Amino acid sequence: MEIAKPYLMFLGDVHDQLAAKTAQGVVDWRPDWCVGQLRLPGCKADCGLKDVSIDEAVKLGAQTMVVGVANAGGVLPEHWVAEIVTALEQGLDVATGLHKRLNSIPEIADAAARHGRKLHDVRFSDQAFATGKGTKRPGLRLLTVGTDCSVGKKYTVLALEKEMVAQGLDAAFCATGQTGVLISGRGVAIDAVIADFISGAAEWISPANDPKHWDLIEGQGSLFHPSFAGVTLGLLHGAQADAFVVCHEPTRKTMRGVQHPLPTIQQVIDRTILEGSLTNPAIACVGIAVNTQALGEAEAERYLAAVTEEHGLPATDPIRYGVAPIVAEILKQFPR
Amino acid sequence: MEIAKPYLMFLGDVHDQLAAKTAQGVVDWRPDWCVGQLRLPGCKADCGLKDVSIDEAVKLGAQTMVVGVANAGGVLPEHWVAEIVTALEQGLDVATGLHKRLNSIPEIADAAARHGRKLHDVRFSDQAFATGKGTKRPGLRLLTVGTDCSVGKKYTVLALEKEMVAQGLDAAFCATGQTGVLISGRGVAIDAVIADFISGAAEWISPANDPKHWDLIEGQGSLFHPSFAGVTLGLLHGAQADAFVVCHEPTRKTMRGVQHPLPTIQQVIDRTILEGSLTNPAIACVGIAVNTQALGEAEAERYLAAVTEEHGLPATDPIRYGVAPIVAEILKQFPR
């Protein structure tokens, strides 16, 4: 899946900013790819882009309209369908992370066929993958893992990409989730792949590369999550991670969506090394990324100092303090 | 997926017995469900059933024609399509484990719609599952795990079902693979499920049951297989196995399809307990099933004695010596 850039961000008429979370993620990390935002009357979200019409977006060079909003129930309102059809007629491709497939809506499928435009449903994967080979391939790979789902695994790799590129390293974000695919313009929502092909899809996401190149692979789920650990393990095996960063949210009491308690950071380090060594015996932890949003400044600093001390590895909050300490550890363990 | 019984077994005109492996599996384990076999001119396979026409099969009460053969390339030859259409016209449902979906073939889809018959593509799963809950549910569950793929996991649970039922226990085979689904008439090919729902599908396969009831769940892959471990882990978490049996083939040098060496039986026991305890902390090994086909009689006996001694658990070859020792161990650890 390769999505043509730049994007027009479609925000519809959603009722709050949270509903535009996906769009905001794209704007945060790829501002240069966003020529503007299209908002319908009544829209309460704002990604801080210039408000433009489809026509203006086309003139600004937009190639794809990204429907980066989630509405209640995941259905596509009639009046959004009309806007999508207009975009296709004006020569844009359309990409969404909605639960409903664009080509399951006859008006949209017809318009796309008539105008030769592409429809990208990033929540689905129709691609045929090979099963995982398990053979080591050239290039360096870092994977984020977590004590739970939704603890900052995507944010952390994107922050690492920014910092590593700023330091002159050859590094690229590899998306494995729907928002990530829109941010990257490429990738696969790995939880949407047929189970037999999880590790094969992970190998496809991060193919053989230059020996000094870092693929920074967005992690998914947790080896300790009873709903999703299979995805996490297949991704770990396919990624053949040389390095990993543990992501953690210190105030969470139970794992997302279930009653299970969170594992400790040390348990995640140990289990990731144990399982990851099947396809890369040299796998090593290079840091801990903590989402300290719920902690005060002093408390966050104390917490990070304690985690650093306990594990002998840099612990930081990528949003609050950046990821420079983790990049330093990467360069220590993997010299340029 | 519930497949109506009894079956007419369609063998087509395949060139050897191996091509009818799936059909043979159904005949071996569910002879009472098979009213006969349909062979086309030139067929070299024989499942030992009475040769019947579609018409005769219908008179014998057949409800479903099972296409239990694999032909080169997985495509469906024209003349097979004609037979399938005839079966649908005569009032039979059709079930296959082929790579091509029956309803992707217009003549077959049309005939099924016209006559109100069901098409079962057991290699695919279109069913919507919930994500795994991870909450313990009533009933007892045994899962087979393996040092590799294709080491007898299905055969072992089917043998256990036969022996446990013979001993008056309440036990039922739960299928997780395509041949298993045809043998069971129910189940899901778990490797065909969307990755997010592996453990959820496993929970669906083996729902809450009577506290003394044993679900005997067909295992898949291996926690040590770099291509498929994600499926194995999701299945283990969803199964919430109380008991497990390790299946092993002692002469294999590398894991199926890859270059990785096989893990030891002890490694599989340890890893299964480590990972399985996430959803069932009481998980325990109850035996080892060894495929000794490649060993002579004396060698097989020596090998099984050594494995029994090493692990303090019954080791047997289900085909050569039956599974009574494993059932005895189950009853020791889980008294009636």
Of B134, B196, B232, the CB nearest to A258: B134
**Per-residue pLDDT for B71 more than 80?**
no
Q: Do A230 and B234 touch (CB under 8 A)?
A: yes
Q: Does B128 touch chain A (CB under 8 A)?
A: no
Q: Token pair for residue B184? A: 């069971």
Of A135, A191, A275, the CB nearest to B195: A191
Same domain, yes or no: A146 and A243: yes
Q: Does A121 touch chain B (CB under 8 A)?
A: no
Per-residue pLDDT band for B104 (boundaries 50, 70, 90) equals very high
Question: Which of B210, B196, B72 minimizes the C-alpha distance to B141?
Answer: B210
- Tell me, what amino acid is at B149? C
Strands B315-316 and B284-290, by their bridges, are parallel
Q: Does B101 touch chain A (CB under 8 A)?
A: no
Question: Which of A120, A179, A148, A184 minimizes the C-alpha distance to A289?
Answer: A148
Residues of A in contact with B195 (CB under 8 A): 190-195, 198, 230-231, 234
**Per-residue pLDDT for B128 more than 90?**
no
- Tell me, what amino acid is at A290? V
B268 phi/psi in degrees, rounded to 5: -65, -40
Of A132, A231, A259, the CB nearest to B135: A259
SS (H, E, C) B243-282: EEEEEECCCCCECCCCCCECCCHHHHHHHHHHHHCCCCCC
Answer yes or no: is B128 within a domain. no
A52 phi/psi in degrees, rounded to 5: -135, 160
Answer yes or no: is A186 within a domain. yes
Same domain, yes or no: B55 and B103: yes
**Per-residue pLDDT for A73 more than 70?**
no
Q: Do B258 and A134 touch (CB under 8 A)?
A: yes
Per-residue pLDDT band for A71 (boundaries 50, 70, 90) equals confident
Sheet holding B214-217, edge to edge: B171-174, B214-217, B140-146, B243-248, B284-290, B315-316
- State the Cα–Cα distance between residues B12 and B221, nearest whole angstrom: 30
Min Cα separation A191/chain B (Å)? 5
- State the Cα–Cα distance between residues A316 and B252, nearest whole angstrom: 47
Same domain, yes or no: A175 and A253: yes
Residue A214 region, left (φ>0) first, then alpha (ψ -120 to 50), else beta? beta
Answer yes or no: is A187 within a domain. yes
pLDDT value of position B8: 98
Q: Do A132 and B195 touch (CB under 8 A)?
A: no
- State the Cα–Cα distance between residues A218 and A210, nearest whole angstrom: 20
Same domain, yes or no: A150 and A298: yes
Provide the CB-side half-sphere exposure for A262 (13 A, CA).
20
Q: Does B192 touch chain A (CB under 8 A)?
A: yes
The residues with which B244 forms a beta bridge, in sequence order, are B143, B285
Distances in Å between the alpha carbon of B140 and those of B172, B240, B330?
11, 9, 11
Per-residue pLDDT band for B1 (boundaries 50, 70, 90) equals confident
Beta-carbon count within 10 A of A237 CB: 27
Q: Do A226 and B134 touch (CB under 8 A)?
A: yes
Min Cα separation A239/chain B (Å)? 11
**Per-residue pLDDT for A12 more than 90?**
yes
- pLDDT tens, residue by residue, A267-294: 999 999 999 999 999 999 999 999 999 9
Of A193, A224, A278, the CB nearest to B195: A193
Residues of B in contact with A259 (CB under 8 A): 134-135
- State the Cα–Cα distance between residues A231 and B166, nearest whole angstrom: 39
- State the Cα–Cα distance between residues A268 and A266, nearest whole angstrom: 5
Q: Do A194 and B195 touch (CB under 8 A)?
A: yes
Min Cα separation A278/chain B (Å)? 7
**Per-residue pLDDT for A99 more than 90?**
no
Residues of A in contact with B199 (CB under 8 A): 226-230
The CATH number covering residue B238 comes to 3.40.50.300
Same domain, yes or no: A58 and A154: no
How much is the mean pLDDT over chain A?
A: 96
Same domain, yes or no: B116 and B162: no
How many domains is chain B partitioned into structurally? 2
- State the Cα–Cα distance between residues B235 and B248, nearest whole angstrom: 19
Residues of B in contact with A135 (CB under 8 A): 258-259
pLDDT value of position B74: 66
Same domain, yes or no: A327 and A297: yes
Q: Where is pLDDT greater, at B18 or B326?
A: B326
Same domain, yes or no: A174 and A81: no
Q: Do A233 and B237 touch (CB under 8 A)?
A: no
Same domain, yes or no: A168 and A98: no
pLDDT value of position B70: 80
Answer yes or no: is A235 within a domain. yes
- State the Cα–Cα distance between residues A143 and A134, nearest whole angstrom: 16
Of B224, B227, B237, the CB nearest to A229: B237
- Tell me, what amino acid is at B9? M
- pLDDT tens, residue by residue, A223-262: 999 999 999 999 999 999 999 999 999 999 999 999 999 9
Q: Token pair for residue B79? A: 């003349």
Name the residue range of residue A214's domain.
140-333
pLDDT value of position B73: 67
Same domain, yes or no: B83 and B18: yes
**Per-residue pLDDT for B28 more than 90?**
yes
Q: Does B226 touch chain A (CB under 8 A)?
A: yes
Answer yes or no: is B129 within a domain. no
Q: Token pair for residue B182? A: 């045809």
Q: Does B224 touch chain A (CB under 8 A)?
A: yes
Q: Does A135 touch chain B (CB under 8 A)?
A: yes
Residues of B in contact with A258 (CB under 8 A): 133-135
Q: Token pair for residue A137? A: 């391939």
- State the Cα–Cα distance between residues B127 and A258, nearest whole angstrom: 22
Q: Do A226 and B258 touch (CB under 8 A)?
A: no
The CATH number covering residue A67 comes to 3.40.50.720
Answer yes or no: is B70 within a domain. yes
pLDDT value of position B121: 93
Spatial contact of B132 and B102, defined as CB atoms under 8 Å apart? no
Q: Token pair for residue A51? A: 């408000």
Q: Does A259 touch chain B (CB under 8 A)?
A: yes
DSSP state of A295: S
* Residue corresponding to tokens 């059933």: B49
pLDDT, average across residues B282-310: 98
- State the Cα–Cα distance between residues B280 and B278, nearest whole angstrom: 6
Residue of A227, A235, A274, A279 for testing the chain B interface, max B β-carbons within 10 Å = A227
Task: Out of A121, A148, A164, pick the residue that ends a domain.
Answer: A121
Question: Which of A216, A101, A232, A113 minimizes the C-alpha distance to A165?
Answer: A216
Task: Out of A89, A121, A153, pick the residue that ends a domain.
Answer: A121
Residue A240 region, left (φ>0) first, then alpha (ψ -120 to 50), else beta? left
Per-residue pLDDT band for B76 (boundaries 50, 70, 90) equals confident
Q: Does B130 touch chain A (CB under 8 A)?
A: no
Answer yes or no: is B154 within a domain. yes
Spatial contact of A178 and A22, defined as CB atoms under 8 Å apart? yes
- pLDDT tens, residue by residue, B219-237: 999 999 999 999 999 999 9
**Per-residue pLDDT for A174 more than 90?**
yes
Q: Do B231 and A195 touch (CB under 8 A)?
A: yes
% of chain B at pLDDT higher than 90? 93
Identify whether A6 is preceded by a cis peptide bond (ω within 30 of 0): yes
pLDDT value of position A74: 67
- pLDDT tens, residue by residue, B174-214: 999 999 999 999 999 999 999 999 999 999 999 999 999 99
Task: Out of B76, B93, B121, pick the residue that ends a domain.
Answer: B121
Q: Do B226 and A134 touch (CB under 8 A)?
A: yes
Work out the burial of residue A320: count CB atoms within 10 Å of its CB; fewer than 13 is exposed, 13-18 middle, 19 or more buried: middle
Of A194, A233, A258, the CB nearest to B194: A194
Sheet holding A284-290, edge to edge: A171-174, A214-217, A140-146, A243-248, A284-290, A315-316
Q: Does A132 touch chain B (CB under 8 A)?
A: yes
Same domain, yes or no: B256 and B326: yes
This model's pTM is above 0.90: yes
Min Cα separation A229/chain B (Å)? 6
Same domain, yes or no: B166 and B250: yes
- pLDDT tens, residue by residue, A202-220: 999 999 999 999 999 999 9
Spatial contact of A190 and A178, defined as CB atoms under 8 Å apart? no
Answer yes or no: is B160 within a domain. yes
Residues of A in contact with B196 (CB under 8 A): 191-192, 227-228, 231
Per-residue pLDDT band for A126 (boundaries 50, 70, 90) equals confident
A230 contact partners, CB below 8 Å, separation of at least 6: A195, A198, B195, B198, B199, B230, B231, B232, B233, B234, B235, B237
Q: Does A256 touch chain B (CB under 8 A)?
A: no
Of B193, B196, B199, the CB nearest to A226: B199
DSSP-based three-state secondary structure for B167: coil
% of chain B at pLDDT higher than 70? 99
